[in-house]
Amino acid sequence: MQRPLAIFGGTFDPIHNAHLRVAWEASEALDADVRLLPASVPPHRDQPVADARQRAALVRAALVGQARLTLDTRELQREGPSYTIDTLLELRAEMGEARPLVLLVGADAFAGLTTWHRWRELFDHAHIGVLTRPGHDGAALPTELRTKIASRRCADAASLRESAAGRVLPIAVTPLEISASTVRAILASGREPRWLVPDALFADPALLAPYRTRA
């Protein structure tokens, strides 16, 4: 079985060190390459402060110099909302049927999975890696989701190599209390989010400029 490919989506408005740390820990836990996919029109969220091109530039700058985490801009290039099911179908068509594909989602997002577009089909095309933060109890799962995953749960990363899709694995990640909202608030108030975002984001003043003025 081939090495898994994992995908980690988000608004990344802007990308910060907790995103990077989580993606890195998942990459190590799964021995997988991880693609970061900025979402263009997140169906569940307010519109981002920075536009698609600016957020992609931030992710690109954050990832310079290492190979295991890469930027995938497909959701920014697509018209309309970024539905995960469409992304999985596209990736599956590119990768073929055999390679394990792992959708990484935070425990809170996972608890809301039944609100996602065509959520039941997600399991047909990918495994789901649920990013759990020790000490943070995830939200309770709705009955329908509990039933759906009952026979899919697994406890070790090796299980995800036995098939291309369909399993659910908790992945413990280090809790880091950083959020994009905090980074935006710091920038909007004229301060610097040093050590909350990678140094590379300060190298070009244009990168964080969208957040420096209040909307």
Rounded CA separation 140/111 (Å): 7
Q: Residue 96 or 171: which CB sits closer to ligand ATP?
A: 171
Task: Give the nearer residue to ligand ATP in terms of CB position, either 18 or 187.
Answer: 18
Which residue lies nearest ligand ATP, judged by its C-beta? 10
Dihedral-angle region of residue 143 (phi above 0 means left; psi in -120 to 50 means alpha; beta otherwise): alpha
* Nearest distance in Å: CB 190, ligand ATP: 19
Q: How far is the CB of 42 from ligand ATP (least distance, A)?
A: 8
Token pair recorded at residue 190: 């004229």
Residues listed for the chain: 215
Least distance in angstroms from the C-beta of 82 to ligand ATP? 12
Q: Write the CA distances from 54 to 47, 60, 94, integer angstroms.
A: 14, 10, 26
Say if CB 40 and CB 74 are below 8 A apart: no
Give the binding site for ligand ATP (CB under 6 A): 10-13, 18-19, 22, 105-106, 109, 131, 176, 178-181
Closer residue to ligand ATP, CB minimum distance, 14 or 166: 14
The radius of gyration of the chain from alpha carbons, rounded to an integer in Å, stands at: 17
Q: Which residue's CB is nearer to ligand ATP, number 138 or number 161?
A: 138
